[in-house]
Structure 1
Amino acid sequence: MTSPEGPNDEARDNQVPGDQQPNLTPEQRADQEFQQAFQQAFEESSDEPDVEFSLGDSKPEPEPETVDPAEQAREIGHNLARELATGGPQGWSKLDAVFAFTAVAEVAQIVFSDDQQRSVRIQPSEAVLELVRRHREVSAAMGDGPWWRLLLQLTPAGQLDIDYDYGDEPFPDDHLFPAEVYQADLEANPRERLPVWLAAYVSHGNRQSRTPAEAAALARADREAGVRGTISERDFPALPTLWARWAVLAAAFVAVGSEWGPRILPALGWFEGAKRGGSTLYMLPGGRAVLSGGVWNAPALDAAYNQGEQLPAYYAGAPAWVANPVLNPRAASGLLSFCYWWEGGRWYRAESPGADQLAEAVPGIWTAQTVTNVIASLVGEPTDGQVAAVATLVSAAEAGVVTRDTLISVFGDEGGYDIDSAFYQLTMAGVATTLPDPMAEDEAIDQVRRYILERDLDTTGYPLDQLRADRISCGWMVYVPTAPGEIAIGRALFYIADDGVLEQSSSSIAPSRYIAEFEQRFQERNGMVDA
């Protein structure tokens, strides 16, 4: 099917000429003139473009028996470029065309643009489509089957670039047909092998799917059959350490503004690598987790989809909670190549490969030194002091006590790095110590005054207009001081922390003793020490 997105009569008839639109800005008027010039050129185009085009006159294709397929494809490509150029509007500076074709379905996108980045998309003519079909037919003799996408770029000066896409990279969604379309094309054009992603797309048949109901039934069957997961002792760090390292790597990549690298979401670690491998780490209640993902060219997947072998039993012996909601999305497309789960303080796996084969699919979490090296490399050419600061940052993450200052010690606070977003990654992972801003003195006094009045406490000899506040490490001690020569036993003292927690005490308890306990409780609330 061709893409019906070119100019149409109704759209043209409903346009109001520019001179009847006095409110148009100069930019809008120029854009309208470009659109109108395009329409006129498209409707009145001759056999040759009205712009410079240096490919020469259209030539007949050489007889197949006299040339090799590559030469024949080249000549068809030149004729295709000439045919496309005839539809170009005045002032166009670039043509981008993409043709996604199979034996039973076709999509074409043809876009002309000018130097001001304005663009118009047209519908391909039948002559263009026939040339593309012919080109694909010829390309079948150039390799293991014809291309699936042809990408063409052209300038008015005749600079031509044609690229053939055989599926080495997954197709964009708008160029991806349903699986049955490729199955029909493979029947018409058999191939020895397919790219692993496309082979899985065509034939995975939901074999890696594991719904909660299926997971429960399979877990029961495994228990009855005595099938258990294999304990994995040396593949990955213990879960708390792995999670902390994942989080600090995510923070570092966010700090430097990288589009790559791991990321943290609530109870989820996510990673997509530059080499198309990726993984997810789902944290579950009860100290459990699932780490799964895929290496794009995993030999086991290639063997299963291109050679007809059995897929590995990644879930054999897995508990019922290892199911689709916590599996990497690759499972839905048949591209999962490993699955580990954490339970009872141990990692388990079934027929997944060892971690040494998964480096492209997980962040560099193997050792603290690995993490330190990765983060240091993001800084560029770190000084010895910065490397030491990175090591401290990694240790603090593993201990769950990273502060904003710990991040600043690595990246600085001069605006070149996104410290706030990086710290947010650590906060979501629960490895950061987030302290509230110091409370102002007048706010502390006001809150204590409201506390006394709301509870109708006896203020005899305790004038609230004389309240004063003394700063302590995590807040304030608020009280009414005694008059000169006055001795007061059991006089009210109030302690209010920077996080708003207020406690009432009295002078009968030594302030030094109470403050120490008050600070301990503050630290526990804010994750500075284990409760």
Structure 2
Amino acid sequence: MDIDLAEIAAPRPAEELVDEAAQLLAAACPTGWQHMRAAFSMAGGQQIARGVATTAAGPVGVAVPARVVDLAQQHRGATIGVTGPWFRMLIDLGASGELAVSFDYGDNPIPADELLPSEAYLRDLEQHPRPDVALWLLAYAGNEGQQRRSPAQARQSALAAPRVADGLPVFDLLWSRMAALAALCRGVDHPEGVRLDPAFAVFRSGQDGCTVAKLPGGRAVISGGRGDSALLTAAYRGQTGWPDLYRGAPAWVYDLYLDPRAAAGLLSFCCWWDGHTWYSAERGTADERHGAVPAVWSIESTAEAVTGVLNTVGVALTDRNAYAAANFVRAADAGIVTEATLRQLFVDGVPESFDMAAALAQLDAADVLLPLCRRIPEDVAIRQVIDYCRSGAPGSAGYPLNRLAAVRLEAGWQVFAPVPPGEWATGRTVFLVADDGVVEPTTMAGGPTEVAMAFAARFARRVRNRAERR
């Protein structure tokens, strides 16, 4: 039988396939539609097709005609390039004839409602090998629960010597700095960044992130990963062995305290704090934490991150409050933040867009606010200084008690004898009277801000220690 080659239909150009699909989609839209988006998710012989039209009354679901799905399948097969076929095609239509088409090759995670079963992507990757497959897709297609660690598994793990994890601040400082960032992120309603409650702090930045778990007895776990982890990418591609991130981990390091990335096979580091030192497995590296942990390494790096969050809402520090961010971080480290500390970040006033209550709630959840204590009256503070000096306590000999004045500080009072005209106050003793009744003589050496913060920090430690003993 002779075959007339002219009768064999040539493959249709991709543009024609899209144009026909757009016409059919427009015809399927309800009366009065303004905009329509259709999403086609395809891999390994499976697909999801969904459409939504915008109308004056709101969004309306649109049933995607079977013919349009067929056209999308044809388009996918006709446009395979070196990066493989697309995983998603998005068609945006306007009622006035506007048309825009975009394609998703899996560089970023596919939305959950358009994500196909993992087997579909496995089949697709086998049929259409790609030179570069994103880590999230490697994990979604190849995760077999390698990183899960149940309590039973944690108890049965063979003991091994962990290594000291370098680069992390001691836990108390890591926690307080996470709280400082959480306060700002929550205050500006940042879509990512840090969020915190009394037991967990979570950081998210694109595909990077970590979770800090605060355990009883001063213990802690920090775990997470990067979306471009070289360690995991090599493991999923079979280029290296699978990293054992829990080698040497104690029995209390298990799923409950791990970042959700562990369940997804995307965990690239895990460190644990035993109350004194950070440890990690041999394969955990500081490089894997870079970007996955916010910049809490020092007061300066955290202050810079705080400034960065403020910049997202158009707030910048000036020469009038240049040290406000660093002082805020120092106050968080000392557990003595107040609303006034936060307000110093806004030299021109707190903008309406900043939720001060939400920011303070984050700091309260982390227990880094100045502890509540009934304020002592000014006259009581002065009387306590007089009693202190008359008792012969250090630093009180010859102090002029007949003309004392007092200035309110965050955690108490500064009581002093005003300097006569023509004299300098340098080196003169003043007294700090805390709201819990403790009197401290000082010369204010080091500057008033530093002295006041150290005074408040000592007060806060006493209050917290008493609360723990109850």
**TM-score in terms of structure 2 length:** 0.75
- Take 1:338 and 1:312, find their aligned partners in 2: how far apart are those partners? 9
Q: In the alignment, what sits opposite 1:421? A: 358
The 2-side partners of 1:352 and 1:61 are apart by 58
- Aligned-residue offset at 1:369: 0.7
Would you say the 8 A contact 1:112–1:120 is kept in 2? yes
Letter in 2 for 1:151: L
Structure 1 CA distance, aligned partners of 2:236 and 2:290?
23
- C-alpha contact (below 8 Å) 1:245/1:365 kept by paired residues: yes
**Selected match of 2:163 from 230, 240, 246:** 230
The change in CA–CA distance for 1:61 and 1:266 in structure 2 (over 3 A counts) is farther
Q: Provide the secondary structure at the position in 2 that maps to 1:174.
A: helix
Which of the numbers 153, 157, 181 marks the counterpart of 2:92? 153
> Is the aligned partner of 1:299 residue 2:230?
yes
User: Cα RMSD over matched residues?
Assistant: 3.0
Deviations 1:66-125 (CA, angstroms, capped at 9, x unpaired): xxxxx82222111211222222333322121011123332211122223x2533322222
Richer in helix (by share): 1
1:431 maps onto 2:368 in alignment: yes
SS of structure 1 residue aligned to 2:201: strand
Which segment drifts farther, 363-372 or 376-385?
Answer: 376-385
Q: In the alignment, residue 358 of structure 2 is paired with which amino acid?
A: S
- Is residue 370–residue 460 contact of structure 2 (8 Å, CA) maintained in 1? no
The CA deviation at 1:190 is 4.1
- Does residue 125 (structure 1) correspond to residue 65 (structure 2)? The answer is yes
Tell me the equivalent position of 1:394. Answer: 329
Counterpart residue type for residue 118 of structure 1: G
Structure 1, 151-160 or 287-296: larger mean CA deviation: 151-160
| Residues paired across the two proteins, number | 386
1:438-489 Cα shifts (integer Å, max 9, x gaps):
79xxxxxxxxxxxxxxxxxxxxxxxxxxxxx99857xxxxxxxxxxxxxxxx
The one-letter code sitting in structure 1 at the alignment partner of 2:65 is S
Corresponding position of 1:72: 13
Candidates 199, 203, 212, aligned match of 1:267? 199
Contact residue 225 and residue 267 of structure 2 kept, 8 A: yes
Q: Spell out, residue by residue over 1:292-338, the C-alpha distance to the aligned partner (whole angstroms, 9 max, x if none).
A: 00100101111111345322111111111111111110000000011
| 1:396-425 superposed Cα distances (whole Å, 9 cap, x missing partner) | 111111122211222366453222211111
**CA contact under 8 A between 2:53 and 2:61: conserved in structure 1?**
yes
CA drift at 1:149: 1.3
Q: How many percent identity over aligned positions?
A: 35
What does residue 112 of structure 1 align with?
53
Name the CA shift for 1:61/1:287 in 2 (closer, same or farther; >3 Å): farther
Is the Cα–Cα contact under 8 Å of residues 193 and 306 in structure 1 kept in the other structure? Answer: no
Amino acid at match of 2:208: G
1:182–1:289 Cα change, 3 Å = same
In structure 2, do the counterparts of structure 1 residues 470 and 205 end up closer, same or farther at CA, with 3 Å as the change threshold? closer
SS at match of 1:101: strand
Q: How does 1:9-20 map to 2 (within 5 A)?
A: none
- In structure 2, the residue matched to 1:246 is 178
Q: Answer yes or no: is 1:286 the counterpart of 2:228.
A: no
Contact in 1 for aligned 2:28/2:63 (Cα 8 Å): no
Query: Which has the greater radius of gyration?
Result: 1
Deviations 1:222-267 (A, max 9, x none): 2xxxx211012x3111111111111112112222332222121112
Name the SS of the counterpart of 1:142 in structure 2: coil
Q: Which consecutive residues of structure 1, in runs of 5 or more, have no partner in the other structure?
A: 1-59, 65-70, 440-468, 474-514
In 2 relative to 1, CA 386–181 (structure 1 residues): closer, same or farther, beyond 3 Å? same
Matched residue, 1:403:
338
Cα distance between partner residues in 1 of 2:435 and 2:105 = 69
CA 1:177 to 1:320, structure 2 compared with 1: closer, same or farther past 3 Å?
same
Of 144, 152, 155 in structure 2, the residue corresponding to residue 216 of structure 1 is 155
2:3 is matched with none
1:181 aligns with 2:120: yes
Which of residues 367, 381, 384 in structure 1 aligns to 2:316?
381
User: Cα 1:341–1:82, aligned 2, differ >3 Å: closer, same or farther?
Assistant: same
Equivalent position amino acid for 2:10 in 1:
E
- Structure 2: gaps (5+ residues): 1-6, 382-432, 440-455
Q: Give deviations 1:181-214, integer Å, cap 9, x for gaps.
A: 3223334444444221111111110001111100
TM-score (norm 1): 0.67
1:258 pairs with 183, 190, 201, which one?
190
- State the alpha-carbon separation in 1 of the partners of residues 162 and 255 from structure 2: 18
Shift of 1:525: 8.4
Shifted more, 412-421 versus 518-527: the winner is: 518-527
> Given the alignment, which residue of 119, 131, 137 partners 2:77?
137
Q: In the alignment, which residue of structure 2 is the partner of 1:163? A: 102
Q: Give the match for residue 146 of structure 2.
A: 207
Q: What is the one-letter code of the residue matched to 1:231?
A: V
Contact 2:21 2:68 in 1 (8 A): yes
1:470 and 1:236, CA in 2 relative to 1: closer, same or farther beyond 3 A?
closer
Give SS of 2:101's match: strand
Distance 2:435 2:374 in 1: 20
* Structure-to-structure mapping, 1:297-336, within 5 angstroms: 297-336=228-267
Using a 3 Å threshold, how does the CA distance of structure 1 residues 213 and 390 change in structure 2: closer, same or farther?
same
SS of the equivalent of 1:430 reads coil
8 A contact 2:198–2:365 mirrored in 1: yes
CA-CA distance at 1:526 after TM superposition? 9.1
SS at structure 2 position matched to 1:272? strand
For residue 283 of structure 1, report the CA deviation from its aligned partner.
1.0
Distance in 2 (alpha carbons) for counterparts of 1:134 and 1:176: 20
Q: Is this contact kept in 1: 2:38–2:52, CA < 8 A?
A: yes
